[in-house]
């Protein structure tokens, strides 16, 4: 099981689009297509490397009004499947957000 204090980041080697609130992910070479349901799409959108798995579970509970133990079990299973497919990566530390230049 992936520890809840690890950070999840989506792969930048995918082409993706959200249509009708569902993410469609296509491998860079166009050979693998993945369609995510509404909860999977929600996780995909927030998996920016700055939230722990525990943070993601909390947000799922808030967004979908689901019990924490169910959200935890489902989220861990989903994240592990996407890690196994190279769609998500697990990191020990948060990815620092990119600084943007402020115009004067």
- Domain limits of the chain? 7-91
Q: How far apart are CA 4 and CA 83, in angstroms?
A: 14
Q: What is the pTM of this model?
A: 0.86
Query: What are the C-alpha distances in Å from 27 to residues 14, 24, 35, 59, 91?
Result: 5, 10, 12, 27, 21
At 87 the pLDDT is: 92
At 83 the pLDDT is: 95
At 10 the pLDDT is: 92
At 103 the pLDDT is: 54
At 61 the pLDDT is: 97
Residue 51: both structure tokens together:
């939230």
Q: What is the pLDDT of residues 70-104, one digit of tens each?
A: 999 999 999 999 999 999 999 999 987 655 555 55
- The class (CATH top level) of 7-91 is alpha beta
Could you give the residue ranges of the DSSP H alpha helices within 10-104?
Answer: 38-46, 53-64, 68-84
At 89 the pLDDT is: 95
Phi first, then psi: give them for residue 81, nearest 5 degrees. Answer: -60, -40
Residue 20: both structure tokens together:
């009708």
Q: What is the pLDDT of residues 12-69, one digit of tens each?
A: 888 999 988 899 999 888 888 999 999 999 999 999 999 999 999 999 999 999 999 9
At 51 the pLDDT is: 95
Cβ partners under 8 Å of residue 21, min gap 6: 38, 41
Query: What are the C-alpha distances in Å from 64 to residues 9, 16, 79, 95, 98?
Result: 21, 23, 17, 26, 29
């Amino acid at each position: 099981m992936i520890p809840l204090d690890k950070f999840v980041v989506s792969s930048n080697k995918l082409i993706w689009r959200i249509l009708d609130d569902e993410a469609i992910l296509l491998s860079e070479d166009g050979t693998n297509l993945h369609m995510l349901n509404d909860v999977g799409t929600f996780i995909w959108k927030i998996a920016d490397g700055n939230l722990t798995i525990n943070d993601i579970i909390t947000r799922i509970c808030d967004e979908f009004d689901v019990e924490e133990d169910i959200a935890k079990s489902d989220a861990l299973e989903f994240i592990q499947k996407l890690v196994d497919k190279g769609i998500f990566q697990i990191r020990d530390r948060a990815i620092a957000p990119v600084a943007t230049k402020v115009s004067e």
